[in-house]
Chain A
């Protein structure tokens, strides 16, 4: 019974946080709602038996990335945002989006429902082994891993160049 309660609690919390992100008019309130969504997702990762991903989610997303966001909001003193004045092409977008939604609903209606079970009522699942995960990351996916480190380096240089004051 406990995994069911945890799942629905965290799912509701995540959706509520996302809605609060949309409704908030102060960017700092949106940032705090997004942190709530990320923490709820970290609990769901634990529920899915991925404790290492949950830890990385909290460290990198809720920690590093969101601190960066809050820092920029503070730096630019971002206040109340103006409401949108809708685009001239709004109705084209609404029509196309509605057609896409109809098509998705049609294919969902005609698809077989999946039978894979994520959490049984007993609630105990073996968490994914961090040892196996690291073997996969440093052996089979070694080249993408190294490519990612170069990507980070380039992003660092790009951020430095962009944020530099013009001489």
Chain B
């Protein structure tokens, strides 16, 4: 039994969907950041699977760029979390509702 590329893409889609679910349902702002990282990881898996399917290395280069941007985003995002925790005394995003309809 051989594994087609579509299995990897299905796994990528499932992980991305779970990331979206976590993003919507979690209330802790740090966990919401982790959900974003999960979605980026799912996209990376799709990139690597397509690079394998087409025998081209460009997909792997894009994975590096995604990883670098994710690391930069995590650094800035967690700094924002620190500032927010100092000003609001809470990590619950329901308490940060100034722009909420």
Contact = CB atoms under 8 A, between A and B. Distances in A.
Contacts of B22: 18, 21-22
A18 B101 contact: no
Given A136-B57, A163-B79, A4 B3 contact: yes
A148 B65 contact: yes
B91 A76 contact: yes
A69 B53 contact: no
B49 A84 contact: no
A102 interface: no
A89 B2 contact: no
A16 to B, nearest CB: 10
Contacts of B74: 65, 68-69
**Interface of chain A, main secondary structure:** helix
Interface residues of B, number: 63
B96 interface: no
**Interface of chain B, main secondary structure:** helix
Given A84-B27, A117-B3, A119-B3, A48 B38 contact: no
B15 A155 contact: no
Given A50-B52, A84-B94, A114 B6 contact: yes
Contacts of A72: 30, 78, 81-82
Given A30-B34, A69-B78, A116-B53, A48 B48 contact: yes
A82 B11 CA distance: 30
Interface in A113-139: 113-121, 128, 132-133, 136-137
Contacts of B31: 21, 27, 30, 81
Contact of B15 (A3, A18, A137, A144): A18
19 contacts: A4-B2, A15-B14, A41-B45, A44-B11, A48-B49, A50-B48, A53-B63, A57-B44, A57-B67, A68-B74, A69-B30, A76-B85, A82-B92, A117-B3, A118-B49, A133-B57, A151-B68, A156-B75, A162-B82
